[in-house]
Amino acid sequence: MNERLESRPKLLKSWIAAICILALGTTLYSEIEGEWFSSYVKYIAQVGFFNVGVIYAVSKIVGTIFYMIWGAVSDNARTKFGRRVPFLVIGMFTTALFMILYISTTNFIFLLIIGGVILAITSNMFHVTNKSLIVDLVPQERRGRMQIKIFLFGMMGSMIVWIPAIFLLPEGQASFSQEMHVLFISMGALSCVLVGISVGVLVKEPKLDIVPKNWLIDIKNLFNPKEMLKHKGFLKIFVAMIFLIMSKSAYYPFMLIFFQEIPLDFAEIIIALPFVITIIIVGIFFMGKLADTRGRKITTIISLFLSPIGGVLIILAGSSSFMLFLGFAIMFAFIQGVWIAADAWVQDLLPKEKRGSFLGIINIGNALGSVPGVLIAGLVADALGLSWVFFVSGIILWIALPFFSIVPETIIKKGANKKD
């Protein structure tokens, strides 16, 4: 017993380290998948914005299906290496392999199959187990603060991709070369391998007293109305999250393309980047603390209301780099606030014994939101210009406000009665 107590602090430190590495690695992969894959299709395979959206939409549909499958399977898996870690490690390694195959072709059909189908299957092995592992290891009262660490390391993953990309932007409106696309995507593949190895070494999952079931039963129960009606709070946040996901998919696949299509002065980037990053970091700290102290709901609603103002500034920026960067700072500071509070909110409402499979339900919203979001934004971009994707994203966030307002608060102050 004493040996267990003495080893527990070290165990907790290794778990936290693994979660932070995961946040960095999965975000880095997501940035490359969402931005460099899309840029590769647009400029190397030379297709239009709508077809860029098609590959992104297909990947979300396929990913949603396998997110549910991997979630249910990992919930009920019992191996000597744990129930989450084996899937996470296998997913990282197979994803790395198919990323290399992705950059070996410029044929649209092959890119659709690899990027839209195969990588959606393999990457969701670590996306769902990553989310489930966080909930398995972090107690509820610390999830908001843990989200700060997750977002900071996630931001590091983003910066590893974005800072060199911005500094290496071709002059004028030229696009990145095929060699540059290959370099960044290969870097993502190597990162997946390193993260997989790190997590496999650092995480020894705690033993469970939950009896495993046939994973197909859990999948079936996800579509059982009587079973789902037992979790009304979860259903409400599921609907609300669809709009949040729709908003992100409206701009996210087009970000790197956007920066390649607008002329940016290198000196302006050097001056503006620390300013933008500082505002976003301050926003993350403030919103993470607010989510734990004042509640998930108020944090989400404030952020939903303010983030679209940044998108409006981006559209109105014209040739003003100052207004453009100010718009990005406001937009992303508050959109990160939404995700900090909403992710913690979702985690609070997950049933303990079915976290993986219920995260699969949330990921159904990933397809329901991503497909219309990216396709509508692609059509708007083809018709009005690429900057209008930020307008589409902002309008969706404002539409989301009443849906989040009816989700039950999970952080209850002392002396308050908990409501359903």
Question: pLDDT tens, 196-220?
Answer: 998 888 877 767 666 666 667 766 7
Within 10 angstroms of residue 419's Cβ, the number of other Cβ atoms is 8
Q: Can you give the pTM of this predicted structure? A: 0.68
CATH code of the domain containing 265: 1.20.1250.20
Do residues 58 and 374 make contact, with C-beta atoms less than 8 angstroms apart?
A: no
Label residue 309 by pLDDT band (50, 70, 90).
very high
Domain that holds residue 60: 8-405
Rg (CA), the chain: 21
User: What are 208-217's contacts with CB under 8 Å, separation 24+?
Assistant: 208/78, 208/83, 210/352, 210/353, 212/75, 212/76, 212/77, 212/78, 213/76, 214/76, 215/69, 215/72, 215/73, 215/75, 215/76, 215/357, 216/72
Question: pLDDT tens, 247-300?
Answer: 998 988 888 888 887 776 767 777 777 888 888 888 778 877 787 778 888 889
Count: domains in the chain: 1
Q: What is d(CA 375, CA 370) in angstroms, rounded to the nearest whole number? A: 8
286 in any annotated domain:
yes
272 in any annotated domain:
yes
Map tokens 């609070």 to a residue.
Answer: 348
Instruction: Name the DSSP class of 376.
Output: H
Q: CB within 8 A of 258, min separation 6: which ones?
A: 386, 387, 389
1 in any annotated domain:
no
415 in any annotated domain:
no
Cα 105–chain centre separation: 27
Greater model confidence, 100 or 411? 100
Cα 135–chain centre separation: 16
Q: CB within 8 A of 303, min separation 6: which ones?
A: 287, 334, 335, 337, 338, 341
What's the rounded mean pLDDT across residues 76-102? 86
412 in any annotated domain:
no
The SS3 of residue 96 is: helix
